[in-house]
Amino acid sequence: MVSVYLGVFMAVLGIESSAHTLGIGIADHGRIVANVKRMYDVGDRGMIPSKVADFHAKNIGRLMKEALQHCGLGIGDIDAIGYTKGPGIGSCLRIGQLAALALSERYRLPLYDVNHAVAHIEITKHMFGLSDPLVLYVSGGNSQILAIEEEPYRHYHVYGETFDIGVGNMLDSFARSARLDPAWGSTVAKVAEGGSYVELPYTVKGMDFTFTGLLTSAMKALKTRDLKDVAYSLQETAFSMLCEATERALLLKGKKELILCGGVAQSKRLREMLDIMAASHNAKFCVAPNEFNADNGAMIALVAEKMLEAGVKARIERCTINQKYRIDSVRIEW
């Protein structure tokens, strides 16, 4: 991990609670010194927002203690707090925000609102020392192709995205309809091993894509075809769509660095396909370890630290939650 020690100790604590993972991380000059998490067990019923929020509320105190103990710090050693403002599930985001507000108020610490997608991207950029990569961000609720644009303000511009559901939720819905075990994305990958291709709809419009038609067709195909073949075809089709759209953006923007991040970046097959595509254009392809593609508090701490170092004024009135917090509305001030 890239670390620049500036000679002055500074610890920033980050709270992630946007979905079923509750994470607490601590960053110290770009070094991740703690990253602990607890995950709500979604079972086979999916996420029930109020139950997940209860889980986060019950666990946040002890998880914070665990994070501090991990790096031998006390709460008095923390210099700033960051929390996930969105996007995410409202009741879950609220638990992280309230804990952050309480800590900030009690210990008079500056408080920073962090966009979840920005955090996934920034921790990957930071680890590989990249300054201006093209990004494929893929998670349950999101699938976007992004890169920094300077106008009208410095932000992550969305070059392409899903017109309907995120690729992760698409894989989860398919797995549930096929009555597969939870940990759905990886279960689909396991079932798909050795499958044969069944034709399914492939929808890419420029750098945008849609997944619901593909999902519906795959669910229908389950009635007549082997699960293994349908799972294989679904995965190959969805990931090929993402690859095609990303390749178009890579060439259009003339980028020489590509990063893959977000929960679905843990997929070996998607990594493999993008790696081949990037290599064919002499572009460097980077993916962070799974610990940082799964939701985590370290990435929130890291971005809050970047905001603090960039001199972003911590303003309590902007420390709200926003379930649909668009990445392109965030000013990147570092």
Q: What is the dihedral of CA 242, 248, 253, 256, to 10 degrees?
A: 70
Nearer to Fe ion, 191 or 299 (CB): 299
Q: Is 305 in the site for Fe ion (CB under 5 A)?
A: no
- Which region among 40-48, 102-110, 138-146, 249-257 touches Fe ion (by CB under 5 A)? 138-146
Minimum Å gap between C-beta 139 and Fe ion is 5
Q: Is 72 helix (H, G, I), strand (E, B) or coil?
A: coil
Q: How far from each other are the two terminal CA atoms of the chain, in whole angstroms?
A: 19
DSSP for 85-135? EESS-HHHHHHHHHHHHHHHHHHT--EEEEEHHHHHHHHHHHHHT-SS-EE
- Binding-site size for Fe ion (CB under 5 A) equals 2
Q: Is 229 in the site for Fe ion (CB under 5 A)?
A: no
Q: Is 139 in the site for Fe ion (CB under 5 A)?
A: yes
Minimum Å gap between C-beta 293 and Fe ion is 8
Nearer to Fe ion, 40 or 232 (CB): 40
Q: Give me 69's structure tokens.
A: 């103990």
- Which region among 59-67, 243-251, 293-301, 310-318 touches Fe ion (by CB under 5 A)? 293-301
User: What DSSP character marks residue 314?
Assistant: P
Q: Is 17 in the site for Fe ion (CB under 5 A)?
A: no
Q: Which of 173, 295, 301, 332 binds Fe ion (CB under 5 A)?
A: 295
Q: Is 266 in the site for Fe ion (CB under 5 A)?
A: no
- Do the Cβ atoms of 301 and 13 come closer than 8 Å? yes
- Which region among 71-79, 96-104, 135-143, 318-326 touches Fe ion (by CB under 5 A)? 135-143
Q: Is 323 helix (H, G, I), strand (E, B) or coil?
A: coil
Minimum Å gap between C-beta 9 and Fe ion is 29
Q: In the complex, which residue's CB is closest to Fe ion? A: 295
Cα–Cα distance measured from residue 105 to residue 191, given in angstroms and rounded to the nearest whole number: 50
Cα–Cα distance measured from residue 251 to residue 277, given in angstroms and rounded to the nearest whole number: 11
Q: Is 144 in the site for Fe ion (CB under 5 A)?
A: no
Minimum Å gap between C-beta 239 and Fe ion is 18
- Do the Cβ atoms of 118 and 302 come closer than 8 Å? no
- Which region among 98-106, 136-144, 176-184, 186-194 touches Fe ion (by CB under 5 A)? 136-144
Cα–Cα distance measured from residue 135 to residue 254, given in angstroms and rounded to the nearest whole number: 13
Q: Is 172 in the site for Fe ion (CB under 5 A)?
A: no
Nearer to Fe ion, 139 or 246 (CB): 139
Contacting residues toward Fe ion, per CB under 5 A = 139, 295
